[in-house]
Amino acid sequence: MTLTSIRMVGKKPNPVDTHVGSRVRLRRMLLGMSQERLGESMGLTFQQVQKYEKGVNRIGASRLFQISRILDVPIQFFFEEAPHIDVSGVRGMAEPDSEVFIIEFLNSREGLELNRAFVKIVDSKVRKSIVDLVRALSASASAS
């Protein structure tokens, strides 16, 4: 193990890199595109795409431009609702902002699938019943 690799152990990705990667993943999933297909379009392996999506590897400007063309979104799409880095102090054990929680949920496979299925339900009474059911399930899970 080299000195450089020793320094990298335990180092967390920059929150902006993580956010940009999660937006790449979100857009790719919305298009129904696999990591393999995105990687092939870029001349990369799917493992490299995974690292970009997790924020482990930073996406350079030219690469981000290429991704924006492939995914058919403007570059600013990847920075929408990006975290603001507060250099004045660490938040500590504070709960994440609800906005961040929602974005993370919508970036998950389950959140994306649930959202896609839910918006296809035309009957507002059925949608309300589903929301009531989920609330009841989460309340019973919290109680136990």
Q: What are the extents of the domains in the chain? A: 11-83, 108-144
Mean pLDDT rounded to a whole number for the chain: 81
Note the pLDDT of residue 25.
92
Looking at the domain covering 11-83, what would its CATH class be?
mainly alpha
DSSP 51-84: HHHHTSSPPPHHHHHHHHHHHT--GGGGGTTPPP
Q: Is residue 72 over pLDDT 60? A: yes
Q: Give me the mean pLDDT over the 111-130 stretch.
A: 87
Note the pLDDT of residue 129.
92
The span from the CA of 31 to the CA of 28, in Å, is 5
Note the pLDDT of residue 10.
58
Q: Give me the mean pLDDT over the 101-105 stretch.
A: 71
Note the pLDDT of residue 86.
53
Q: In this structure, which long-range contacts are made by residues 85-89, counting pairs with CB atoms below 8 Å and at least 24 apart in sequence?
A: 85/15, 85/16
Residues 10-60 have pLDDT tens digits of 578 888 899 999 999 999 988 889 999 999 999 999 999 999 999 999 999
State pTM to two decimals: 0.60
Q: Is residue 85 over pLDDT 50? A: yes
Task: Identify the band that residue 138 occupies on the pLDDT scale cut at 50, 70 and 90.
Answer: confident
Q: Is residue 93 over pLDDT 50? A: no
